[in-house]
Amino acid sequence: MISLDDARARDAADPLAGMRAHFSLPESVIYLDGNSLGALPEATIAAQQDAVERQWGADLIRSWNSNDWIGAPQRIGAKIAPLIGAKPHEVIVTDSVSVNLFKLIVAATQIRPDRSQILTEPGNFPTDLYTAEGASGVLPDHVVHTEQAGDLADALGPETALMMLTHVHYKSGERHDMEGLTEAAHETGALTLWDLSHSVGAIPVDLNGCDVDLAVGCGYKYLNGGPGAPAFLYVREDLQDELRSPLSGWMGHAAPFEFRDDYEPALGVSRFLCGTPPILSLLALETGVALFTDIDMKDVAAKSAALFDLFAARVEERCGDHGLELITPRDAEHRGSHISFAHPDGWPISQALIERGVIGDFRAPDILRFGLTPLYLRFEDIWQAVEILGEILDSGIWREPRFAEKAAVT
């Protein structure tokens, strides 16, 4: 049996234990949804006040220069780069994941003009599939083709222009072999585009080491950038001046303040900027990313794995007779940083947990999903969360009608 004292002893020995103090977390809540929306960094509160009152309120439009608002997309991208194994000039913060996917899908397929297939997998995150479908609609004769994860390498062929995959699956938490699949794509002449939304800030990523062509990622999950934080995109340096964004907005121009009628893309990854950047959101993201400055991602990955192992073991010993099916791979090398269980009554159970102060989430049709955020989650939190889960399952309180109603957002 794993005791609460065992969990507390692990917290006492945790090299990341001090990071929790950098977040504003209510003591009444066990927050297990940082894989969907990261917690609020304490420093963000003061930084946003400064951004509003001094930079905007006092410095006004001068802040584009005096506070380097104009350089924020490149500056913050360079800070994200070490977390994904990229060079500083290969990453830029801009737009949303969906918009960045569209830009990169179209740009990539345009430099593979003799190929017509965008290869992905069924059950990929919906925005990836929807955006690929939308992009294929504006690309002559292009189609989106899906294959099950285990068949992707064999499905690559001379017609494949781009393989687009999410590194860590949003439901199951299963992690693709980025290096192996990228190599397989390159052997057939295809490009690769990886969505890092459930990877960045939670597990080590090495885009350069895996020779990845293109990538996108989310700013509001493990990077703690705030609701709707801007996303980022990565373009390998040797491809940057070959690719051209289909969204040729003024911020992606080589000389935006010359106001010329003709469009000339900027050099490097800056050509993938589009409109005027959302400065307040960018600065909130910058504060979240700054928390990783002195963090070794090996420590983050090790704690993520340990939190998972404790959660899985506690569920087995405390909730073993209640029909929870672990769907996340047990091997740490094959998963991200959340743990998911299938249960036919997952929705009402998730709502009963929230009422008790354990905030995870639910993904249709039957998945209970719990984010394991190493910077602020404690081993004690995991122990207590599973204890509450066990009490709910033992009591059957989740069967009450009030837990059956579904909200628009979960």
Point out the residues that are catalytic: 125, 195, 220-221, 369
Residue 230 near residue 209, CB atoms below 8 Å: no
Written as one letter, the residue type at 66 is S
Which residue's entry shows tokens 């294929």? 136
Distances (CA, A) of 373 to 87, 239, 358: 25, 33, 14
Query: What span, in angstroms and rounded, lies between the C-alpha atoms of 47 and 154?
Result: 49
Question: How would you classify the pairing of strands 117-120 and 160-166?
Answer: parallel
Instruction: Quickly list DSSP for 205-254.
Output: --TTTTT--EEEE-SSSTT---TT---EEEE-GGGTTT---SS--GGGBS
Query: What span, in angstroms and rounded, lies between the C-alpha atoms of 267 and 313?
Result: 51
In sequence order, the 6+-apart residues with CB closer than 8 A to the CB of 255 are: 264
Query: What span, in angstroms and rounded, lies between the C-alpha atoms of 353 and 357?
Result: 6
Residue 51 near residue 193, CB atoms below 8 Å: no
Query: What span, in angstroms and rounded, lies between the C-alpha atoms of 283 and 287?
Result: 6
Query: What span, in angstroms and rounded, lies between the C-alpha atoms of 125 and 110?
Result: 24
In sequence order, the 6+-apart residues with CB closer than 8 A to the CB of 322 are: 343, 390, 393, 394
Cβ atoms within 10 Å of 47's Cβ, excluding its own? 19
In sequence order, the 6+-apart residues with CB closer than 8 A to the CB of 53 are: none
